A and B are shown apart, each in its own frame.
Chain A
Amino acid sequence: MRHHIVLRVVAKLLIPLILLFALYVQFHGDYGPGGGFQAGVIFAAAFILYAIIFGLESARLVVPPTIIRAGVALGVLLYAGVGVASLLLGGTFLDYSVLAHDPLHGQHYGILLVELGVGITVASVMIAIFFTFAGRSR
């Protein structure tokens, strides 16, 4: 891939925009279409594009496999942790209303955190699966 100058330049231009769009989908999912699943997939797509254009080794330098593996577990833990936090605060499991003084704010925080957990897990799993498959092919 040393000689695909057009691909490399276009990818460099596009990747920040893809990441930004993923974050927009992640945090704007409450107000428009989107949410953790879609944002995680788009986020992972940016890194997969990077890995395809610039090679697997440089992509492994950008996101080390340890961080990905931690992310896979971190998302689920964040999701379940929100549920446990609402348990400890006196509600039922995953009842976000008790997370803040105002039930509406509590719901908002809860959904934001839960969607973040979904996004982290989905993105990490997608990157991990792609890296594993691509790493086997050589």
Chain B
Amino acid sequence: MVIAIAIVRMRDLFATVMLTGIFSLLSAGLFVVWDAVDVAFTEASVGAGIVTVLMLGTLSLTGKSEKTPAYSPTLPLVVTVLTGAALIYGTLDMPLYGDPAAPIHQHVAPRYLNESYGEIGLPNVVTSVLASYRGYDTLGEVTVIFTAGISVLLLLGTTRRTKGKSKDDREEGEKP
């Protein structure tokens, strides 16, 4: 929370990026406390590691300090506060953390926990769910990453090369 406020108040973008990395690392620690080791692992490596490096790379392309905004921050502030209040109001209905009667523990979770070892044979249930039961979702996620990579290569990667290479033409044809 303190770090989030510091990120908002900071004008120096370099320090902001560093604080964002620290924020991710702290969230990773929080996830470990909540026994979500896989999520924590992802947060630590992606959030604290790669994103920080990419933001620094972006900073080297743009400037290092934030410009003073030309418009009044009142309207965005009101919208954000209203949205945040609505979201927090929504959480009041949710079951308590760790409540065994919560709907999420009643639907498919017991089946995954009790039978996945017999059906898949892996001790790590998270991997079983991600790669086998939810194989379609993971395929979609990989496709999203693939699309992101192709888009970056298309937008930024081909500036130096001469036009008319057949491979680039074909990739451009897939763009919406």
Task: Write the residues of chain A forming the contact surface with B, with a CB cutoff of 8 angstroms.
Answer: 25, 29-35, 37-38, 41-42, 44-45, 48, 69, 72-73, 75-76, 79-80, 83, 93-94, 96, 103-104, 107-108, 110-111, 114-115, 117-118, 121-122, 124-126, 128-130, 132-137
Q: Mark B123-157, 1 if CB is under 8 A from A, else 0.
A: 11011101110011011001101101110110011
In the complex, B83 has a CB within 8 A of chain A: no
| B46 in contact with A41 (CB, 8 Å) | yes
In the complex, B119 has a CB within 8 A of chain A: yes
In the complex, B42 has a CB within 8 A of chain A: yes
| A114 in contact with B135 (CB, 8 Å) | yes
In the complex, B38 has a CB within 8 A of chain A: yes
Contact partner of A73 (CB less than 8 A), chosen from B53, B136, B146, is: B146
How far is A35 from B60 in the complex, measured between Cα atoms in Å? 32
Closest Cβ of chain B to A86, distance in Å, is 10
| A121 in contact with B146 (CB, 8 Å) | yes
Contact partner of B149 (CB less than 8 A), chosen from A41, A115, A125, is: A125
| B124 in contact with A42 (CB, 8 Å) | no
| A115 in contact with B131 (CB, 8 Å) | yes
Contacts A34-B38, A73-B146 given; indicate if A107 touches B54 (C-beta within 8 A): no
SS class, residues of chain A in contact with chain B: helix
- Identify the closest chain A residue to B119 (Cβ): A107
In the complex, B61 has a CB within 8 A of chain A: yes
| A133 in contact with B124 (CB, 8 Å) | no
Task: Write the residues of chain B forming the contact surface with A, with a CB cutoff of 8 angstroms.
Answer: 37-38, 40-42, 45-46, 49-50, 53-54, 57-58, 60-61, 119-124, 126-128, 130-132, 135-136, 138-139, 142-143, 145-146, 148-150, 152-153, 156-157, 159
| A30 in contact with B127 (CB, 8 Å) | yes
| A80 in contact with B156 (CB, 8 Å) | no
- Identify the closest chain B residue to A96 (Cβ): B132
- Tell me how many residue pairs across A and B have CB atoms closer than 8 Å: 137
Question: Could you list some 18 contacts between A and B, CB below 8 A?
Answer: A30-B124, A33-B37, A33-B41, A35-B127, A45-B50, A48-B50, A75-B142, A79-B138, A83-B139, A108-B120, A122-B145, A125-B148, A125-B149, A128-B152, A128-B153, A132-B153, A133-B60, A136-B156
| B146 in contact with A31 (CB, 8 Å) | no
Give the residues in chain B near A33, CB-CB below 8 Å. Answer: 37-38, 40-41, 124, 126
- Identify the closest chain B residue to A42 (Cβ): B45
Give the residues in chain A near B159, CB-CB below 8 Å. Answer: 136
| A38 in contact with B42 (CB, 8 Å) | yes
Closest Cβ of chain B to A47, distance in Å, is 11
Give the residues in chain A near B139, CB-CB below 8 Å. Answer: 79-80, 83, 94
How far is A31 from B123 in the complex, measured between Cα atoms in Å? 5
| A37 in contact with B146 (CB, 8 Å) | no
Give the residues in chain B near A133, CB-CB below 8 Å. Answer: 54, 57-58, 60-61, 156
